[in-house]
Amino acid sequence: MADGGSSLQVFALRLAPGEELLSSLLSFVEERKLRAPFIITCVGSVTKATLRLANATAGNTNEVIQLNERFEIVSLVGTLNKEAHLHICLADKDGKTVGGHVLGDLEVFTTAEVVIGEATDLQFSREMDAHTGFPELVIHPRYEKAV
């Protein structure tokens, strides 16, 4: 675990209809060589999504749903290192919500307006956690502190 805080750099982007949200965000992060990126906020809509539900475990990753209708993005949170860990909440035409771990297929319907932050003094990585069975976030200082 990293101690202390970090300076913040902020980026904003808008994705157009038909673009895939997760792969677009990962490309954005890779192109800019961001090392500790995370979602600050996101609004928009999608026409489909593939999500892993809360009941999934390392031994049972079959808790997956594929959605194929129009949804408003009411929340998107998480980290965006190479193995992104994002959770999304979507609202349907009746305002009913569904959410889960983003696996992909988030096809933008009208727009996705995303604000990304980067902790400029930190670096994120993922390492397998024997307790959870999933690769979990590890936070490192980006620079060695002078003694």
- In a domain, residue 2? The reply is no
- CATH for 91: 3.30.1330.80
Query: pLDDT tens for residues 35-93?
Result: 999 999 999 999 999 999 887 666 766 789 999 999 999 999 999 988 899 999 999 99
Q: What is the mean pLDDT of the chain?
A: 92
Q: Specify the residue for token string 């988030």.
A: 106
| Cβ neighbours, 10 Å, residue 14 | 11
- In a domain, residue 130? The reply is yes
Q: How many domains does the chain have?
A: 1
- In a domain, residue 3? The reply is no
Q: Contact at 8 Å (CB) between 69 and 47?
A: yes
The percentage of residues in the chain with a pLDDT greater than 70, rounded to a whole number, is 90
- In a domain, residue 32? The reply is yes
pLDDT at 140 over 80: yes
Cα(68)–Cα(38) distance, integer angstroms: 26
- In a domain, residue 19? The reply is yes
- In a domain, residue 38? The reply is yes
Q: Residue 93: phi, psi to the nearest 5?
A: -65, -20
> What is the average per-residue pLDDT within 109-138?
94
Q: The pTM is what? A: 0.88
CA atoms within 13 A on the CB side of 70: 8
Cα(57)–Cα(132) distance, integer angstroms: 8
Candidate from 50-54, 107-111, 142-146 with smallest mean pLDDT: 142-146
Query: Domain limits at 131?
Result: 8-55+64-141
| Cβ neighbours, 10 Å, residue 126 | 16
- In a domain, residue 147? The reply is no
- In a domain, residue 122? The reply is yes
Collect all residues with Cβ–Cβ distance below 8 Å to 45 and sequence separation of at least 6: 70, 71, 72, 73, 108, 109, 110, 111, 112
What's the confidence (pLDDT) of residue 3?
Answer: 59
What's the confidence (pLDDT) of residue 37?
Answer: 98
